[in-house]
Structure 1
Amino acid sequence: MSAADRPAVPRQVRMSFWMFVASAALFALGAVYALTQRDQFVEAVRATPQAKDLAPDAIEAAATASWLFAVLLNLVLAGLLVLFAYQARAGKGWGRVGLIVLTAIVLLIVLFGPSLLGLVAGLISVVGVVLLYVPDSKVYFDAVKRAR
């Protein structure tokens, strides 16, 4: 589809795009913050009932693994949010579906590991998904699909 044939991106889809970019930025910020929190991860592992049966090296290893997982999860979510946001802005339905799935994952993360950054990112993502399904957005996605 040439640029001349492509329908104009409605305001709601553009707003949704920037909301997902903001949500991704919050997750990237969360990754940076998590990088500074390794000692807190060690203390959290030591505070678990299972830690009394673990050697100090095992506690360190478990803390390091959970710490790296938190950093990588934040970075992967940030990257996927941006990727799918670009695709949704281009009118691709799979980008819109991907954003729904990612928003559900974000909400589950907030449910099981509440944080202020996660909560704000989750709320922003929910609004972003809603904007992708308002009537003007639906018309846009349908027009892009027909133009292919």
Structure 2
Amino acid sequence: MKNLIVLIGPTAVGKTDLSLTIADTFQTDIISADSRQIYKDLKIGTAAPTPKQLAMAKHHFVGILDLKDYYSAAQYESDVLKLLDNLFKEHDIQLLTGGSMMYIDAVCKGIDEIPTVDNETRQMMMKKYQKEGLEKLRDELKLLD
């Protein structure tokens, strides 16, 4: 039987140390469910694992993206489910830990199928924002909503 241990809680309550103990006990990897620790340039305010802690167990989704990279809870769900398929081939117990409930819910309960915004539309809206400002975009959203 395959089991996913889910360890949740706010920042700085000791999840990292407990997750290392759990990972050691069950000889499993640690899958981070933290929407900020996933970015490599956010070292302050995220309570990211230290290099020593990272060396104690294999971690996934810690420090893998640049701040400019787009990433969503839907993408996280897809990536984690693929990873779990592979990890469960090696071990029957896996560990998901963090404080981003949207990420945890996406993995444990699924997420609604919401289409992602293509890069062309993102760039167009960013240019519009830079040219016309936030107030103009807000007015347009109010009109369309």
Establish whether TM, by shorter chain, passes 0.5.
Answer: no
TM-score by length of 2: 0.30
TM-score by length of 1: 0.30
Larger RCO (alpha carbons 8 Å, 6+ apart): 1
Considering fraction of residues, name the structure with more strand.
2
Considering fraction of residues, name the structure with more helix.
1
Higher alpha-carbon Rg: 1
